[in-house]
Chains A and B, each alone.
Chain A
Amino acid sequence: MCLFQSVMNYFPEEVLEHVFDFLTSHRDRNAVSLVCKSWYSVEKFSRKKVFIGNCYAVNPERLIARFPRLRSLILKGKPHFADFNLVPHDWGGHVYPWIEAMAKSRINLEELRLKRMVVSDESLKLLAKSFPNFKSLVLVSCEGFTTNGLAAIASNCKFLRELDLQENEVDDRKGHWLSCFPESCTSLVSLNFACLKGEVNAAALERLVARCRNLRSLRLNHALPLEVLQKILVQAPQLNDLGTGSFTHDPNSETFIKLKNAVKNCHSIRSLSGFLDVNGRCLPAVYPICANLTALNLSYAPGIFSNELTKLIRHCKKIERLWILDTIGDKGLGVVANTCKELQELRVFPSDLYGVGNAAVTEEGLVAISAGCPKLNSILYFCQQMTNAALITVAKNCPNFIRFRLCTLNPIVPDAATNQPLDEGFGAIVQSCKGLTRLSVSGQLTDQVFLYIGMYAEQLEMLSIAFAGDSDKGMLYVLNGCKKLKKLEIRDSPFGNMALLSDMGKYETMRSLWMSSCQVTLGACKTLAEKMPRLNVEIISENEGGAGEVEARLDDRDRVEKMYLYRTLVGPRTDAPDFVRTL
């Protein structure tokens, strides 16, 4: 290393920088910056892309000091369980301070990607005005903004290439945000507004599409009828990725025939989604492009019946990523297994959240897929029931899983055949899938499953647990065994203080730990916070009754309803609302 180092130091910094340019992964660049001072310095000034997995682990000032030439930032805010209403509204995760700080320091920001953050119109307006070279905005599962904010982005970002809104809660003011793209804007490559609920100006959209010759990805919202889709496809046959808006029309009409012809002309479409508000009998219009599809998302279309789904899928032999609803049924999954030999990622979402489960999939479908799709490595599967035997078979068939998320609709349902817990099944999965990095377990589970996880899941980085385990031992197995664990989220499980406090140093090696409706007490959390100053231990109360509510529960012996702890370099956050207390 010494000889190497002196040889490397002989090279001017430009050469080092050029070499580092080839390192694209954040981890590699982080490693490189630890080698020596000069590498640290070169890496620091040449770093363009920064990833911050927890926005409260650092602050904007430190980010800017550390990477003054950053151009692209990824930020994540709320804990994952916020997606399922377990985190009260107003918990935090505001992006404004970040944008403000970067604007003040004249950072040449070009790309911003946010997940589970609160984005105000004010933030968007500031963003739009402060960064002249801004190119790409991607918002996933965010909230807090209206179409007025989008209008600001459209009006001011002269070189905007990408505006991608995925599953956000947007207050649609029905303003003409889309019309705010000036006539001079021709740079759009990707536009996704599928999650917007309101009308958009169809004529403005058509003109926009016509002048943006580099447009590759377009996802419409449900307010746009088939007529508009047809006109757009005529203007933009070069699209790679299409999200239809509503997809329902009289199949005998002239519009529909025109649509069919327009679709036939779109030879480049590789990814298809949307079908918000669909009539299944319109689906044949897309058959001509199915043969080349690598990604298909039909999970927003509860109106498509199983036989229509399978008819469509039979055309899709090259699919690598498939998102569907459980309306497809086990038999439909059998068709997928026979047809989609290139399948890598499958997500089967529940279609019936409010009634009696009647359209669900079972272990049969999963086994069929595992047998038929040799390249499968990522799965999210909501199912009515599961068995250990099925999971063991799946584990044998698919040793290459990197992500395995199973969700039984009844969270504590046992093995449907033997009435035993599902410990052995999940045990088989972790034992067989040596590269597993993400796991979600469900069904009736004892401490045994965690013994297996701790023993075998060596690469596991994220684990989600709900209604599982018998005692502290379960959690201990995981904390002691999974050396690469980064995120652990637990709800409604009998883990308590002993498990929480057994290895406090472990939490500094992790991004975060969430525990809700478990057995940890206020006293234990206080102990942890005291001993570990570089952790923020947040106690989140349900009622927004203010600090008084939290203070009223002074007793250290009381259970804590929700605890979220995370490592941080910057101490307790200053924007915590009343119902969040950082110990």
Chain B
Amino acid sequence: METSVATELRLGLPGRDESEAKITSVSNKRSSSEMDDSCDPQQESVAPAQKAQVVGWPPVRSYRKNILQKKAESSSDGSAMFVKVSMDGAPYLRKIDLKFYMNYLDLLKALQNMFKCTIGVYSEREGYDGSEFAPTYEDKDGDWMLVGDVPWEMFVTSCKRMRIMKGSEARGLGCL
């Protein structure tokens, strides 16, 4: 199961949403923790676009509207909220919402859980040296970076996708 080249083609099904339903998902499903698949036909007869055009409808105070608008903006402007995560050797990719996590520890715990691997502890000098796997990400400039170098907030806004590399490969990154 050696992967020798970083550019090798990877079999990957399209990324799937996390099962904890996010209200910002684009699908027309109702928010519930069990993925309720019933696409109510009557719902489609309601013209959702209509409500955006009527002044003062739904009747909600500006104060409340502003709060929702702020929230909608902050969750839709994220250049990298849902990011694909691939792991060397895994048959398909996963997708995670970076905004769901509070810090690197959180994120790495979740990744280890999801992929059933050990990533180990980050150190500035050694990277994830010694671990079987190392998490990396592609940033806005297209460069592959080691996860953990920059402050968390910066990471969240600049991460476009992630790849969990085999330790042997990642050692190269850690030494730079």
Chain A residues packing against B (C-beta within 8 Å):
81, 83-86, 141, 167-169, 195, 249-252, 276, 279, 281, 299-300, 302-303, 305-307, 327, 329-332, 349-360, 362, 382, 384-385, 407, 409-411, 413, 416-417, 466, 491
Contacts and interface: CB of A to CB of B under 8 A. Distances in A.
Contacts of B48: 356-357, 409-410
Given A327-B31, A385-B46, A466 B102 contact: no
B23 A305 contact: yes
B61 A167 contact: yes
Nearest to B109: A252
Interface string B57-68: 111111111011
Contacts of B36: 331
B30 A410 contact: no
B51 interface: yes
A252 B47 CA distance: 45
A384 B68 contact: no
Interface in B22-36: 22-23, 25-34, 36
Nearest to A331: B32
B42 A417 contact: yes
B72 A354 contact: yes
Nearest to A516: B56
A290 to B, nearest CB: 20
Contacts of B113: none
A301 to B, nearest CB: 9
Nearest to B52: A354
A83 B59 contact: yes
Given A331-B34, A362-B40, A410-B50, 8 more contacts: A306-B23, A306-B32, A327-B23, A331-B33, A354-B68, A359-B30, A360-B30, A411-B57
B4 interface: no
A544 to B, nearest CB: 16
Contacts of B31: 305-306, 327, 329, 358-359
B60 A303 contact: no
Interface string B1-39: 000000000000000000011110111111111101000
B61 A84 contact: yes
B67 to A, nearest CB: 5
Q: What is the predominant secondary structure among interface residues of chain B facing chain A?
A: loop
B116 interface: no
A382 B25 CA distance: 20
A84 B63 contact: no
A174 to B, nearest CB: 18
Given A167-B63, A303-B71, A359-B23, A330 B102 contact: no
A135 to B, nearest CB: 26
A353 B34 CA distance: 24
Contact of A302 (B23, B55, B59, B106): B23
Contacts of A491: 56
A303 B68 CA distance: 10
B157 interface: no
B46 A85 contact: no
Residue of B31, B56, B57 contacting most chain A CB atoms (<10 Å): B31
Residue of A300, A302, A491 contacting most chain B CB atoms (<10 Å): A302
B102 to A, nearest CB: 4
Contact of A307 (B20, B52, B68): B20
B54 A411 contact: yes
Contacts of B50: 410
A409 B20 contact: no
B131 interface: no
Nearest to A414: B45
Contact of B58 (A305, A306, A409): A409
Interface in B56-93: 56-65, 67-69, 71-72
Given A86-B55, A303-B71, A413-B46, A356 B28 contact: yes
B24 to A, nearest CB: 9
Contacts of B63: 141, 167-169, 195
B158 interface: no
Contacts of B57: 84, 411, 466
A358 B25 contact: yes
B43 A385 contact: yes
Contacts of A359: 23, 30-31
A169 B63 CA distance: 7
A302 B56 contact: no
A415 to B, nearest CB: 9
A385 B56 contact: no
B46 A306 contact: no
Nearest to B72: A354
Contacts of A250: 102-103, 106
Given A84-B59, A466-B57, A349 B23 contact: no
A307 B68 CA distance: 20
Residue of A168, A299, A350 contacting most chain B CB atoms (<10 Å): A350
A249 B102 contact: yes
A466 B56 CA distance: 11
Residue of A300, A305, A330, A360 contacting most chain B CB atoms (<10 Å): A305
A351 B64 CA distance: 9
Contacts of B42: 385, 416-417
Contacts of B23: 302, 305-306, 327, 351-352, 358-359
Given A84-B60, A169-B62, A349-B64, A305 B20 contact: yes
B105 A358 contact: no
A299 B28 contact: no
Contacts of A169: 62-63
A350 B32 contact: no
A168 B66 CA distance: 12
Residue of A306, A329, A353 contacting most chain B CB atoms (<10 Å): A353
Contacts of B105: 252
14 contacts: A86-B56, A169-B62, A250-B102, A250-B106, A252-B102, A252-B106, A305-B20, A306-B33, A327-B31, A329-B32, A332-B32, A407-B59, A466-B57, A491-B56
Contacts of A85: 55-56, 62
B32 A353 contact: no
A314 to B, nearest CB: 13
A352 B62 CA distance: 14
Nearest to B59: A84
Nearest to B152: A250
B79 to A, nearest CB: 19
A351 B72 CA distance: 9
Contacts of A416: 40, 42
